Structure 1
Amino acid sequence: MKEASLLPQYLVQRYHGWRATTFVENRAWYRRLAEDGQRPRAMVIACCDSRVHVTSIFGADTGEFFIHRNVANLVPAYAPDGEQHGTSAAVEYAVNALKVAHLVIVGHTGCGGVQGCHAMCSGQAPDLEEKSSFVGRWMDILRPGYERISNLPADEQIRGLEQQAVLISLENLMTFPFVKTALEAGELSLHGVLHDIAQGTLEQYDSKLGVFAPVA
């Protein structure tokens, strides 16, 4: 693979800094993780957005979260059709193999994927409608959410669709038989949160009230 290049120097320097400090100071813990394997308490499905740092938000240690990231923190519906499904595979592994106790969908404000979905569904992004658009076809998962918020005032639609990205994912998780089984057995709980990047706040979905409310 001749096209692969060596790491940029700033990453090399940061690696050496981590190796000389964080790793050395926690050498026994890393050895334990390597020898005993991972036992994460929760799976987190978050957006690829570089501004969403879930381990920092929740103060998680190495080995505590099984993290999967994709555009707009979406989970597709259960569809064992023989195609490759990275997100579905991650969910299956987390629930069936790792036996995580919690599965958390983390949405966020200012999501480019959500904005792209809104533009596509409102006819303002014909390039995303193309069959060749990976982003567009992935954002098709969120189309039902757009239908739910399309009648809102224009200045409320994006925030509404950001919430729908969390809710659609939670709904789709329930189409996975092994998720439903684990949930009904009391072995798994599902959670949906929305992180405001600028304010540093976190709202969680209250299924009893049907709203997102600040985490108390």
Structure 2
Amino acid sequence: MHSFPDELLQGYANFLSGRFSREHARYRELAQAGQQPTTMIIACCDSRSAPETVFDMGPGEVFVLRNVANLVPLYEPDGGQHGTSAAIEFAVNSLEVENILVMGHGRCGGIKAALDPSMQPLDAGDFIGKWMSMLGPVPGQVGQNSLMTASERQTALERISIRNSITNLRSFPYVRQREQEGRLGLHGAWFDISTGELWVMDPESGDFSRPDIAAQ
């Protein structure tokens, strides 16, 4: 039988003596008053690109959903169990967030799997393969571009996937309505793990560029 991981216990001890001790009043307020984040971030499960760390957010400041490759499915109220859709529903209709950010990242394992048709499933259920299939034929189209290097194809699909997820967000009627009313903003960003660079998507063109943070 495995014991509880020592690194987690040590981390918890550091949390108690550090952040929790410094922000005890804040945690107590959150426990009593509930959470009121203004932004939802849909990010990848990848342990290297935690959005709370990247954006230096404290407790209660951002509502985070993480799944494989930060994908958003189409709105499908078919009675099935849809974890990502449930989180979006809660963030928009209950928390009434003002922004939703889809945050992709470099060297994404899910995107790499989608680009490699020869990759064998990790399990008989092939959950990753079925999940990534929501990108449709795009991975195959990008993968066939012989003028791009393998890393360029991966970066391209990582960014295309962000745009696709934002398009799928608009299939949720309450998301679309609030955006049209000016009460909700939809955003895209791509984070480079190796350099720490953040690339932000232009809402009109869909192009990605680095923001000027010197003025912040």
**Paired AA for residue 31 in structure 2:** A
Q: Is the 8 A contact 2:115 2:140 kept in 1?
A: no
Query: For residue 48 of structure 2, what is the amino acid of its counterpart?
Result: R
Question: Higher mean Cα deviation, 31-40 or 9-18?
Answer: 9-18
Q: Kindly, what percent of the aligned residue pairs are identical?
A: 40
Determine helix, strand or coil for the equivalent of 2:89.
helix
Match of residue 167 from structure 1: 163
Which letter does structure 1 place at the counterpart of 2:171?
Answer: T
- Quick one: distance in 2 between partners of 1:131 and 1:21? 44
CA distance in 1, matches of 2:120, 2:3: 37
* Corresponding residue number in structure 1 for 2:104: 107
Q: Distance in 1 between matches of 2:108 and 2:97?
A: 27
Native 8 Å contact 1:102 1:191 kept in 2: yes
1:93 is the counterpart of 2:90: yes
The answer to whether the Cα contact below 8 Å between 2:100 and 2:186 also exists between their aligned partners in 1 is yes
Cross-structure match for 2:142: 149
**Matched AA of 2:79:** G
CA distance in 2, matches of 1:50, 1:37: 27
Q: 1:140, 1:168 → 2: CA distance?
A: 12
Match of 1:75 in 2: 72
Give the TM-score of the pair, scaled to structure 2.
0.91
Question: Does the 8 Å contact 1:142/1:164 carry over to 2?
Answer: no
Structure 2 regions of 5+ residues with no counterpart?
none
Q: Say which is worse superposed, 11-20 or 193-202, in terms of deviation.
A: 11-20
Matches within 5 A, 1:11-50: 11-50=8-47
The structure that is helix-richer by fraction is 1
Instruction: Single out whichever of 55-64 and 166-175 deviates more from structure 2.
Output: 55-64
Aligned equivalent of 2:119:
125
1:9 is aligned to 2:6: yes
